[in-house]
Chain A
Amino acid sequence: MKLTLNWLREFVELVLPIDELCEALVMAGLEVEAVAVHRPIWGAVEVVEIVNVAAHPNADRLRLCEVRRAQGPLVRVVCGASNMQAGDKVALAPPGSDLPGDRRIERATIRGQISEGMLCAARELALPDDATDGILILPPDASIGRRLVDYLGAEDTVIDLAVTPNRGDCLSVLGIAREIAALTGAKLQVPAPALREDDPPTTSAVRVAVEAPDLCPRYAVRVLHGVCVAPSPLWMRTRLALIGLHPISNVVDVTNYVMLERGQPLHAFDLAHVANGRISARRAGTRQSFVTLDGVERELIPDDLVITDGRGPVALAGIMGGADSEIRADTTDVLLESAYFTPAGIRRTARRLGITSDSSYRFERGIDPVATVAALDRAAGLIAGTASGTIARGVIDKQVGRGARLPTIRVRVARVNALLGTTLTAAEIERPLRALGATVAGHARAALRVVPPSYRSDLQSEVDLIEEVARLSGYETIPATTPAIVAGGPGFGPHRDPEERFRQTLRTCGLTEMIALAMIGAEENRMFPGLPDLSGKPVALRNAPSSDAAELRRSLVPGLLQALDVNRRQGEPLVAGYAIGRVYACDGERYHEGKALGIVLAGAWPSAVIGEPPRPASFADLKGGLALAFDRLALAPVMWESLQNEAPYLHPGKAARITIGGVLCGVAGALHPDVSAARGLDGDTWVAELDMIRVVQYCPRRIVFRPLPRFPAVLRDVAIVVDSGFQAQQILDAISEVAPPLVEEVRVFDQYAGAPIPEGKKSIAYSISYRASDRTLTDEEVNTLHQELVAHLTERLPVEVRR
């Protein structure tokens, strides 16, 4: 909401300097977004009167003017224009004055005649152009000697305020003036419009009916005859231009001007195009199309409120007028509308049609239902004053809805203090409420009976008024206190600890945390469907910002691959990242939100020490990092097995499914070569994803200490020759199946292929640790146990012991 200080001054005295005024507005909840001082360079240009116009003796196209200044003798000015005559008020740039475009006016001799300055055209002052040739002719009321900037109000300060949606009353100069009056104690003055009405009466020109009182509780009109549509006066154009509005014509500019000043949207119809002189506010009733004055054809639904004439709609009530009845250059009779439309109705239609106009914006936020006619009169007076014409006698004012019944609100002193933490008295509460314009009807010690002013439709309940008391007293006056917070509640909750340990461990392994947007493209979402147990259909956005953000991710992998791409392009030799975040799916009826972990690992670990070569990232890095994280969480047995078909985007031979306690919790491995190729990735790209909700489920609630062993362990190694496709885990499984006594741990410590191992075979070496809890084992005892174990393995599995 932009407005100017001069405009404000017409309603309230500004007792504070601009800085303090802005500070006061900010601290009252009106955010000052910008303050712009407009001080035209042509401040020395003054109003003068032409006394005499004569031909220039030496030039046909020049005139010699004698003009009267406020003081001193008449001065002579040579002028190239011819649109002036004696008695005109014009703008003189005296010698020594500056004009836009780095021009400085000096006394000059033009074709032998001395010119004491220059008579200015609007264009030369960078004023809104009225498209007339020649110099600027000012209205007769311009007083001689006055600075033109003062007369036009061109030297002014524009304030841009952010108005919250509850404060529709602040969308006008008058509204802000009221706030300033309430904040500073200055008196508000609202000049009553001087109105001269003439016959014939308004009722002879137009008949008004309101058929939808629920949507249009009040509808008032006036009629002006003999109006001459032309550019509006310069002062008005100057002011409108200051706040960024394009002047259009005197009639239209006045409706805008009064809306900005009073907050009451107005609409002007060309009466000649209001069929049968009949105006009705009613629902559209049927589906139909309607061309608004911006030339766009709008589809109306039966419930939309429209203004109709004898034929059909002429305006989308409160939102935009129709193209057929708008004011044109040849309009002579004007029908001026000032109405109160209910906010919800306007909002429904405006939102559906995607229109936001200055008018709908104000109606949606609630205007003053009492000021309808005052604004109408102000506008009629301004039009009559600037576009000539006569105002028809009488106003038609249909008040059909429930009249503006203002609520009476009980404000309890105790309640105010209980909510704010203050110790205000009834009088201290009453003062700010009165400053707002509220009527304090009853006044007991315990409670006030308050009637808010008509323009504050946002004040409906006690708490609304408590806020006003706090706001006007100043939030800074409320003492800060520390509440007693009752201990209890889950604190960080059960998830944070395991999750945080996971994050920490992965960072220790060299993985950096990454956060990507949850929205991804539909194709990506199909390629990376997340873990099979949890996935469902993708969740699509109805109003997606772009096709690559059309759906909510089912997996964190695509986001990480995007990060890989970003960093590859930067020339990063290694991209090692993890992400923990939500994933989303829909099973038809319900939405599911899971929590997933994703890892991406590609490139080579940089040389750790000079001289050592860089080391390509491998499956072992991926598995090692995850295994360490699982270990840090003391998870139940974690199994790594060959991928079945859980993740088609992974390489079938270089990927694993991870189960915890027999339940699938994740996958890890190399991207499928086709997927890599499609993304222009060469070499292996290692990725993993885990279902963090499941992982956390398997975390022990507490760590239990195991006593340290008292007797030493005895180690025995065995190397086993197997087919090259044989998995190391099979031996471990075979051992744990028989659960041999005294075997404490079995560990794979080497793998070898090549001579003397036959082609197609490999040797895997295991280290087995034997320990008894009650004695030191003897060599013979261990040898017997070990032989039995090895024999068991060779019997059960197609393996040989390597001698």
Chain B
Amino acid sequence: MKATLDALGAEIENALDGCRSDEDLERVRIAYLGRKGRLTEVMRGVGALAPEERPAVGELANALKRRVDECITALRERWKAERRQHELERERLDVTLPGRVWPYGHVHPLTAALDEAVAIFVSLGFSVYEGPHIEDEYHNFEALNIPSDHPARDMHDTFFVDHTHILRTHTSPVQIRVMENQEPPIAAIAPGAVFRHDDDVTHSPMFHQVEGFLVDRAVTFGDLKGVLSLFVQRMFGDDTRLRFRPSFFPFTEPSAEIDISCVICGGARAVNGGTCRVCKATGWLEILGAGMIHPAVFRAVGYDPEVVTGFAFGVGIERVAMLKYGITDIRLLFQNDLRFLRQF
């Protein structure tokens, strides 16, 4: 019996050696270990042996069966691993090929700059108002203390629509419109397009401003400095320095122009060994006009300048965008060249 088992063991080993696939293995398994398999039959025969022979032979037969089972499983596992390995070797992506081009549009740099400016002021408690672009001369000029024979009108090259209407030359008329309709305290900004008869590398006939003003019982020039410093530093970075210079606007007094330290040379007046061309080697860039609202403006809207004070400011968004992004020709902002717009 033992000899039979040994012979069967050798035969099975031979059969397994000849196996090349899972199907071959299954055939061998059925031939020897199946219900009618040869080893199965041998094992069934163990019961017919003499009781003293049974344990040893039984043990041998079981050991053989275990070995065969293990061998079959091992081969299956190995082949599976080999096939996976083969697959892994065969399946290769060129990860350097470009990815899918998901469509995505770009925000216009003016909108980006305008939104940023508006968001800063809203975060400070200002509310947003709009006004008409086709404005009457009263709101654009007279109410802002710019009578018709005032030389300050030369500062505004005005587009005329009819004998009383013009395209607003600044966003300041929104000041008047808001104050005409409500009582202080008011903290308002008015972003939008304005128009002047001007067209060159730094001027466009249409451009954008954000007007802002704060009117209350005790608003001071110091407050103006504080609010605009906050705005500038949020817009251009905390290390941006400011300079308030006296200037003239008919609708504010005292009036100021605000310069920021040059965004290119940082105020050093030179870059890469040459003079800074952005600030023309002054170290400063003019960015805002501002001042304390003129008593004549308050009187025009029926406020008592003895009771309320306020400040107003205007910032040119094209200039902000040009400085922020290093754009040198304003006309690029209105040409809609996709090679330009895609950069934002």
Contacts and interface: CB of A to CB of B under 8 A. Distances in A.
A481 B161 contact: no
A475 B255 CA distance: 10
Contacts of A582: 133, 193
Given A419-B221, A481-B226, A491-B122, A166 B133 contact: no
Given A512-B106, A513-B105, A481 B220 contact: yes
A464 to B, nearest CB: 7
Query: Which of the listed residues A466, A489, A566 has the most CB atoms from chain B within 10 Å of its own CB?
Result: A489
A411 to B, nearest CB: 13
A572 B338 contact: yes
Contact of A566 (B160, B195, B335): B335
Contacts of A779: none
B108 A344 contact: no
A515 B336 contact: yes
B334 A167 contact: no
Nearest to B286: A31
A656 interface: no
- Sorting the interface of chain B by its residue count into under 10, 10 to 19, 20 to 34 or 35 or more gives 35 or more
A466 B134 CA distance: 35
A344 B97 CA distance: 73
Given A489-B186, A584-B133, A566 B337 contact: yes
What does DSSP make chain B's interface, helix, strand, loop or mixed?
Answer: mixed
A164 B227 CA distance: 25
Given A29-B247, A610-B97, A482 B336 contact: no
A541 interface: yes
Contacts of A470: 221, 246, 254
Query: Which of the listed residues B102, B105, B248 has the most CB atoms from chain A within 10 Å of its own CB?
Result: B105
Interface in A496-554: 496, 503, 506-519, 539-545, 549, 552
Contact of A515 (B101, B103, B108, B124): B108
Interface string B216-257: 101111110111011000000000000111111000011110
Interface in B141-184: 149-152, 154-155, 159-162, 165, 167
A418 interface: yes
B309 interface: yes
B160 A541 contact: yes
A780 to B, nearest CB: 46
A483 B245 contact: no
Interface string A112-151: 0000000000000000000000000000000000000000
- Sorting the interface of chain A by its residue count into under 10, 10 to 19, 20 to 34 or 35 or more gives 35 or more
A584 to B, nearest CB: 6
A478 interface: yes
B342 interface: yes
A165 B165 contact: no
B220 A364 contact: no
Given A29-B247, A463-B292, 19 more contacts: A29-B248, A31-B245, A165-B248, A344-B149, A419-B221, A420-B221, A420-B254, A421-B221, A467-B246, A482-B227, A489-B187, A490-B127, A492-B122, A512-B342, A516-B336, A518-B206, A570-B338, A593-B132, A609-B99
19 contacts: A31-B245, A343-B151, A422-B222, A475-B256, A478-B225, A481-B222, A483-B220, A486-B125, A508-B104, A509-B103, A512-B338, A517-B334, A539-B161, A540-B161, A543-B197, A545-B205, A576-B103, A577-B338, A608-B101
Interface of B: 97-108, 110-111, 118, 122, 124-130, 132-134, 149-152, 154-155, 159-162, 165, 167, 185-188, 193, 195, 197, 199, 204-206, 214, 216, 218-223, 225-227, 229-230, 243-248, 253-256, 292, 294-295, 309, 333-339, 341-342
